[in-house]
Structure formats: C-alpha cells, structure tokens
Amino acid sequence: MTYRTIFKAAFLGFALATAVSLTPEIGNAQTLKVVKSSTSASLNVPMNRAVVVESETPFAELSIANPAIADISSLSDRSIYVLGKAPGTTTLTLLDATGSLITNVDVVVAADLTEFKERLRQILPGEKIEVRSANDGIVLSGTVSSAQRLQRALDLAERYAPERVSNLMNVGGVQQVMLKVRFAEMQRSVRKSLSSSLALNGTSSGTTLNGGTGTTNTLTGSTNSLSGRIPSVNENVGAMLFGFGVGSVEVGLLIEALENKGVVRTLAEPNLVALSGQEAKFLAGGEYPVPIAQEDGAITVEFKPFGVELDFIPRVVDGDLVNLELKAAVSALDPTNGFRTDAFTIDAFRRRETSTTVELRDGQSFAIAGLLQDEFIDSNGQIPWLGDIPVLGALFRSAEYQRQQSELVVIISAHLVTPTRGEALALPTDRIRPPSEADLFLFGNVARDSSKTKLKGGAGEVARQDFNGSYGYVME
C-alpha cells in the first residue's frame, strides 16, 4: 500500500468522523445524484435532517451562501454531506481544481413534512388534509369535518413551521345553526281583606252622638244618612253597610270583605338562524324614547329597546356538537313604576334576561334559566283594647292578606339546518286571503275561505302531504 493510498483513506475517515459529529441523524441520510456538470439543480433538504449528494464531476472546492440555512461537508471529491438547519433557500457552489464553476445548486430547506404527515394521521385519522411545502412554510388544504379539528391541524403545523402556516382548508358538514328560545312566565296573585267599621249618629238624653271607627267615621249628616248607603271613600267591591236606629240614634255597621285573584301568562318563542362563528341578533318589540339631561343643560332623547331580544354566536365544535354564546331578554313597559314630573312621564321597564355559554348537540335542549319568586304580606290593624274583646272585637279589627307568585323558565334548543326550496316554506299569511266584497258585505266574512281555492307556495306544499288535523302556523 502506497503512502498516497494511506493518505486518501485517512482523509476519508476524517471526513466521515466530522460529518457524524455535525448531526446524530447521519444514519438517516440518503444518497441522491442530483448534480450534473455545467447545469444548475435544486436540492430539497428536510430541516434537522441530512442528505448525501454525489457529483458526476470531481470538485475541489465547496461554498454555501448562507450557513445558517444549511451546513455542508465534503466526504470525497464527489460526495457532499448537506444538513438542513433552518427553513429557507440558499445556494451551494461547486468549483474544480482550476477554480472554474462546475454548478450551482439551490438548496431548499423546509419543515420535515414526513414526520408532520405521520403525526397528522395519528391525531386526526380519517381527515382529508393535504400537506405541501411552500417557500419556508407549510400549506394545508382539503376538507375537515369540524372547525375544532381544523384548529387542531393548524396548532400541530405551528409546531413544525411557527408563523409560517397557510390555511386553505374548508370545513365540511352543516355549519348553520337555528336557535329556538322559549320564554314562559306565569304570575299568580291572591289578595284577601276583611274589616268592619261602626258609626253612631244622633241624640240620646240630650247628648249628641256622632262618631265611630273605620271608614264610616267620616259619614255624618241628616237622619237615616247611614241607612242603605256604601261610603264613597270605599273602593272595595265587597263592601256592605247595615244601618238601624235605636230611638233617635242611628247605628251603621260597614263590613268589607274582598278577595282578588289574578293570573298572567307570558310566552315568547323567537327563532333565529346564523352561520357558525357569526353573531346574530333579533328584536321583536320597539324602542322607547327616554330624555337625558346633558351637562350644558340641553336635553337629548335616547331610545331604549324593549320586547323580545335574542343575541347569540353559534360555533359548530365537532360533528353535531354546538357551542352557544347566548344573551336573551324579554322586556315590557311598566307604567306603574314610572317617573313623573310636571313636564312629562317616563315609564319603567320590566325586564327578564339571561346571558350564558352552553354546549349541546343537534336537537337537544337546555333549561338555561329559571326563577321562582314568592312574596307574602299580611297585616292586622285594630283599636287598642277594643279589638281584643272576644267576638265583639272583630268590629274593631281589620286584616289583610296578600300573596304574589311568579315563575319564569327559559329553554333553548339548537338545530343544525340546511337551506331548502323556497316554495316549501309556509308563511302565516299563506292561508289567509282578503275577502271579496260579497264575502264581506253579504256574508260578513273577514277572510276568504281557503278551502275553495287551490293553495300555492308553502301552504300548498304542506297541504299535499295529507296531514290530519292542524298543521303549519295557526292564527286565532
């Protein structure tokens, strides 16, 4: 063995040792013949991985334009070790022994898509996502089943190419949500009162008697003024006055017994459709003008909305799972609690509202709010000592009992919906036709009989389905 052969073997061993020290992944390097004499070529190198390039022409000198993107090392006069360090593009130049240019190689370092694709298949199996490299970033395209899985794919891509991920993916499936909100409120009130009053009017043994207890005390006048009369100061419908005379003295006994019961039912069902991730608003009611005083003394008018309000943002999370950010309210004018001045009157508002975020599946419902309020008031008034007399003490006492109960429930339902043909939708007015002059003046009909005419549009579509009983919208 000559010294020259020994020298070449030692040089090759030193080069191999240097290459191994540059990266622990030298074992994964692949030999690629991509360089041809006197031509330019392109070399794709995954980041943090290495490739070995063989030149068809022996070279004497190597240079890399940007060592921060790729690192090189010569293994022989025909083999080059290239290590990708950072995403980007740089130029590898090969020169021969005379300093002449052999070729320029464009070295493109990109994220390791092989590992990224494998992780993507493990985390999101079954999703049709295409992965490509562009310049120094990653481009994702295809169709995913939900917005949540789309975000997972983007988060994973950010691990391999931070701030260099392009999203060209689409979300498949139904992405429109119809929200149905039902407000149901019942108010019950009971009031009972029982009181009695005694009055005397006249003379006895030269002594004038004029007085009494309760509301009849204010009734004085001529003879028999108490008999058969109900005091004008009394507003109760359950009042009765008994009067009788003992000589020249008239005695009046007023008994007031009243029981009031009341029930109030409030129901509202607003429906609204919105695209996933988009805000939708609904208001059925009006706006009430409220004057507001400014610092300079001027008065401006601000309009306050009232009625049925609905504001929500739906997000289709995964499949048929819907995330709802919801705000709903029902309000009405309340003149009994308003503000009054000499110039104007401002009514108050009765308002019931809720604001929450929930998750539910297609067709499911939630009772998101409930209120049970029970108020009880009773009072008992009497004349001292006289009201404590057994039996007769009832003439000098009055008792009142009042109870109010209110119950409010708010229920929401979410449905994934798709568009349909316009003629398949029925309107409340489809089956209500204006009457003809003969129907109105001769027969007194305020609407034309739709059974004698062929229904068109949504009402006709529903009628052809041969339902029994009521269907569609009902107007009473």
Query: What own/partner pairs with CB < 8 Å and gap ≥ 24 does 431-439 have?
Result: 431/455, 431/459, 431/472, 432/475
Residue 15 has pLDDT above 60, yes or no: no
Per-residue DSSP letters for 138-193? EEEEEEES-HHHHHHHHHHHHHHSTT-EEEEEEE-S--EEEEEEEEEEEEEEEEEE
SS3 109: strand
Give 191's contacts (C-beta < 8 A, 6+ positions apart).
258, 259, 260, 261, 400, 401, 402, 403
Q: What's the average model confidence in pLDDT over 104-111? A: 84
User: CA angle, 153 as apex, 152 and 155 as ends, to 5°?
Assistant: 65
Query: Start-end ranges of CATH 2.60.40.1380 in the chain?
Result: 41-110
Rounded mean pLDDT of 124-142?
Answer: 84
Q: What is the mean pLDDT of residues 1-5?
A: 48
Strands 70-74 and 31-35: unpaired
Question: Mean pLDDT throughout 394-409?
Answer: 82
Q: Could you give phi then psi for residue 240, rounded to 5 degrees? A: -145, 135
CA-nearest of 408, 306, 405 to 347 is 306
Residue with tokens 């994702």: 140
20-29, 56-65, 169-178: which is most confident: 56-65
DSSP state of 442: I
Fold of 113-171: Histidine-containing Protein; Chain: A; (3.30.1340)
Cβ-count burial of 446 within 10 angstroms (0-12 exposed, 13-18 middle, 19+ buried)? exposed
Instruction: Please tell me the distance from the alpha carbon of residue 275 to that of residue 416, in angstroms, as a whole number.
Output: 10
CATH 3.30.70.270 fits 41-110, yes or no: no
Closest CA to 133 of 152, 151, 114: 114
Question: Among positive and negative, which fits the CA dihedral 17, 21, 26, 27?
Answer: positive
> Taking residues 23-47, what's their average pLDDT?
57
DSSP symbol at 297:
S
Alpha carbon distance 331, 309 (integer Å)? 8
User: What is the 8-class DSSP label of residue 329?
Assistant: E
Residue 79 has pLDDT above 50, yes or no: yes
At residue 12, φ and ψ (nearest 5 deg) are -65, -40
Distance CA 19, CA 23 (A): 7
Percent of the chain with pLDDT over 70: 73
Q: What is the pLDDT of residues 324-364, one digit of tens each?
A: 999 988 888 888 888 887 777 888 888 888 899 999 988 88
Helix (DSSP H) and strand (DSSP E) numbers for the chain: 5, 22
Residue whose C-alpha is closest to residue 79's, from 93, 64, 97, 58: 58
Exposure string for 311-343, b = 16+ CB within 10 A, e = fewer: bbbbbbbeebbbbbebebbbbebeeeeeeeeee
The closest of 214, 146, 252, 233 to 398, measured between CA atoms, is: 214
pLDDT digits (tens, 9 = 90+) for 413-468: 999 888 877 666 766 666 667 788 888 888 888 776 555 556 565 556 555 555 45
Mean pLDDT of 98-111: 84
Q: 112: pLDDT confidence band, cut at 50, 70 and 90?
A: confident
Beta bridge partners of 17: none
Least confident of 155-159, 227-231, 326-330: 227-231
Residue 306 pLDDT greater than 80, yes or no: yes
Numbered ranges of CATH 3.30.1340.30 in the chain? 113-171
What count of Cα atoms within 13 Å lies in the side-chain half-sphere of residue 205? 0
Determine how many CB atoms are found less than 10 A away from the CB of residue 58.
12
* Per-residue pLDDT at 29: 45
| Residue-averaged pLDDT of the chain | 76
pLDDT in tens, 235-292: 555 666 666 777 677 777 777 777 788 887 778 888 889 988 889 998 888 888 888 8
Whether the predicted model's global pTM rises above the 0.85 cut: no
User: Which residues fall within 8 angstroms of residue 237, CB to CB, at 6 or more apart?
Assistant: 258
| Strand extents, DSSP E, 47-111 | 50-55, 61-64, 70-74, 79-84, 88-95, 101-110
